[in-house]
Copies of this chain bind each other. A is one copy, B any other.
């Protein structure tokens, strides 16, 4: 649990930088070398390497050195863990709203039989 929290710290920290997000966008289209990753960014190769190290430490990116070229690729598991954490919170909040809606519909006063609002469609929670 502690390790998972530390992982999320690192993943969200890595994603908080616009340059690193540009790198993740590039890598989601396929592996790339460090110099390819730096091409669209106005920064030195040393700065690009530092960002790659932050991405690698977070688990978002894996790198492999072949000869003089370091190739980077995305690790979807780290993306998924961050996405799941956010989706879990959002779903909890939406369920609470649904329950509140049900409660308000139930206390809106007695109407004709059969007109009470039905429980909201559970499929909506999957959006």
Q: How far is the CA of A13 from the CA of B94 in the complex (A)?
A: 23
Stoichiometry, copies per complex = 2
| Interface residues as binary, A65-87 with B (CB distance below 8 Å gives 1, 0 otherwise) | 00000000010100110110111
Q: Does A120 contact B (CB under 8 A)?
A: no
On whether the beta carbons of A12 and B12 are closer than 8 Å, the reply is: yes
Interface of A is mostly: helix
- Give the size range of A's interface with the partner: 20 to 34
Ordered by A's residue number, 16 sampled pairs between the chains whose C-beta atoms are within 8 Å are A8-B21, A9-B16, A10-B16, A16-B16, A24-B89, A25-B89, A29-B93, A29-B96, A76-B90, A76-B94, A79-B89, A79-B90, A79-B93, A82-B86, A83-B83, A83-B90
